[in-house]
Amino acid sequence: MASDSTEKRDLHTLTRGELMELLSELGQPKFRAKQVEEWVWEKNARSFDEMTNVPKSLREELAKRVTLGGVEEVARQVSLDGSRKYLLRYPDGVAVECVGMPGGNRLSVCASTQAGCAMGCAFCATGAAGLTRSLTESEIYEQVMHVRDDFNARVTSVVLMGQGEPFMNYDATLAALRRLNSPEGAGIGARHLTVSTCGVIPQIMRFANEPEQFTLAVSLHSAVQRTRNALMPGVRKYSLINLYNAMGEYVNKTGRRPTYEYALIGGVNDTDNELQALCDFCEGTLAHVNLIQLNEVDGSKFRPSTDLRAQDFVRRLASVGVEATVRNSRGSDIDAACGQLKQRALRGR
């Protein structure tokens, strides 16, 4: 293991075998690996000095050879509803957003899987800026731990619905989910870990075959092909009919109920025709529809639907046997869309 600071590796990126090898080079017994891993993953140590059950001499040796990575918080916004939105920067300077949403004795985290995004959804600030890079397993994981430590509370659920398309970064996303699920990581139940995808069909099928009971949300936003193509150009090649069939297979395989995310946009996807298409898409399937009241975003041509219209959607969906809820965006008094905090921070606001 190199001791040159320019080549130091982040402890988060070491496999168990590599960590054992490093510790053995330092003449340490095997049990040290578990101790060090506990500090890295479960306790989210920010410095080697925190590792109080590790001998000081070993801490010093480790500090010479590896880093603890670590995200740096560069901006935050706190909502009146208690939500906190963070802009977190990794050691290479790349920054992403995540959100902590408290409620009762629950704490939900919305985390990012990529810095930026290549999918180009028409209503999304992140999509407009393009993809910077995908995040690693530990970079996704560390967002959740940052929120946990900031609230000083156990995280009860995570949704990977921040910046990026998780299924364009499948391996790191899955590894992060497993780490979040593991008792040696964050210990969050698999059913409380949700991936939100635009509908990348090959990866939906792959996800269906994973052994864990992770949950799946699909951003639908329209069940009319032309409207969906305009709103979500990044998944144009995955047609609605193919998505419908893939979701049928997903449900058959897993027995789990997927959620369809649907941001109601006035005059765009809230017309009678759109509502009928949504009912047709969901009727007779195992599905839950999350209707999201779009926030007003400065400079956006999209406007939210009225509350009355949202209730029409709930009623019509219920009439065809599909449960739907209207989700009020958390933190609506802070920045609405993902990517906004980053833009403001970069402008120095």
- In the complex, the smallest distance separating the C-beta of residue 279 from ligand SF4, rounded to whole angstroms, is 24
Of the ranges 87-95, 99-107, 123-131, 247-255, which one interacts with ligand SF4 (CB under 6 A)? Answer: 123-131
- In the numeric block, which tokens belong to residue 266? 């006035």
CA pair distance 122, 10, nearest whole angstrom: 37
C-beta closer to ligand SF4: residue 131 or 279: 131
Instruction: Return the residue of 69, 127, 199, 331 that touches ligand SF4, per CB under 6 A.
Output: 127
Of the ranges 46-54, 113-121, 143-151, 304-312, which one interacts with ligand SF4 (CB under 6 A)? Answer: 113-121
E strands within the chain? 9-10, 66-67, 72-78, 84-89, 95-103, 106-110, 114-116, 131-134, 157-160, 193-197, 215-219, 259-264, 288-293, 323-327
Instruction: Return the residue of 124, 223, 322, 334 that touches ligand SF4, per CB under 6 A.
Output: 124
Of the ranges 119-127, 267-275, 307-315, 320-328, which one interacts with ligand SF4 (CB under 6 A)? Answer: 119-127
Instruction: Return the residue of 126, 136, 169, 329 that touches ligand SF4, per CB under 6 A.
Output: 126
Are 35 and 45 within 8 A, CB to CB?
no
C-beta closer to ligand SF4: residue 82 or 233: 233
Residue 117 binds ligand SF4, judged by CB under 6 A: yes
CA pair distance 69, 139, nearest whole angstrom: 9
Residue 166 binds ligand SF4, judged by CB under 6 A: no
**In the bound complex, which residue of the shown chain has the CB atom lying closest to ligand SF4?**
127
283 part of the active site: no
Residue 217: CB atoms within 10 Å: 18
Are 137 and 175 within 8 A, CB to CB?
yes
C-beta closer to ligand SF4: residue 69 or 127: 127
Are 200 and 235 within 8 A, CB to CB?
yes
- In the complex, the smallest distance separating the C-beta of residue 27 from ligand SF4, rounded to whole angstroms, is 47
- In the complex, the smallest distance separating the C-beta of residue 59 from ligand SF4, rounded to whole angstroms, is 39
- Binding positions for ligand SF4, 198-217, rule CB under 6 A: 198
* H or E element, residue 1: none
Residue type, 122: A
Q: Which of 18, 21, 97, 279 is catalytic?
A: 97
Q: Which of 98, 110, 198, 338 is catalytic?
A: 338
| DSSP designation for 103 | E
- In the numeric block, which tokens belong to residue 141? 């994981």
Spacing of C-alpha 33 from chain mean position: 29
97 part of the active site: yes
* H or E element, residue 27: none
- In the complex, the smallest distance separating the C-beta of residue 125 from ligand SF4, rounded to whole angstroms, is 8
Active site residues: 97, 338
Residues near ligand SF4 (CB under 6 A) are: 117, 119-121, 124, 126-127, 163-165, 198, 338
